[in-house]
Amino acid sequence: MSGKTISVRRHSVARLTSAALFMGMNIILSLSVFSIPVPGGHLYFCDAVINTAAILLDPAAAFAVGGIGSFLGDFFFYPAPMFVSLVAHGLQAVIVSVISHRIFPRKPALASSAAVLVGSVVMVAGYTFGRAWVYSTPEYAVIKLPFEFLQAGFGAVVSILLLYPMRLKTAYEHILRIR
């Protein structure tokens, strides 16, 4: 075996392990125990995990973390919106991943900030339409709209702070370079 083959495998294993870790975090953070109660609901930390994973990983792994992880979290703890979560958070993760890796390649913090902004809008729209469909009442979806914006904004800010000022992205890339 050549050294390059071993390096590629190690790199793939590290990315697969990262995706699995982020997916597990997403599922666990779906519990109400790990949320902040706000009037009318709870503020969950899932969006911060989804955005962070999407910025660090490729779009397919980001979809697994965001879409499948959220689907499983809902499946285990509150199954009614699980398909809404699959679509809304899956699209959010893919969009964040694609934008953060493809636009402004020399300014990754700017690209990631734009990506989480667009991803947040997609997630809020997906959950609003999804709630109207699942609960058969657009009024309920509209009532929850401010909380969706709060959760999306909170997740966006936390992920950007973790990745750039707190240098999680640099540490992650350093770990992948270690041979």
pLDDT tier at 98 (50, 70, 90 boundaries)? very high
Distance CA 20, CA 113 (A): 24
pLDDT tier at 176 (50, 70, 90 boundaries)? confident
Distance CA 74, CA 59 (A): 22
pTM greater than 0.85 (yes/no)? yes
C-beta atoms surrounding 104 within 10 Å: 15
Domains of the chain: residue spans and CATH: 3-177 (1.10.1760.20)
Hey, which bits of the chain come out as E strands? 36-38, 41-43
How confident is the model over 128-160, as pLDDT tens digits? Answer: 999 888 888 888 888 888 888 999 999 999 999
- Which two tokens mark 91? 């699209």
Selection from 55, 17, 33, 64 nearest residue 158 by Cα: 55
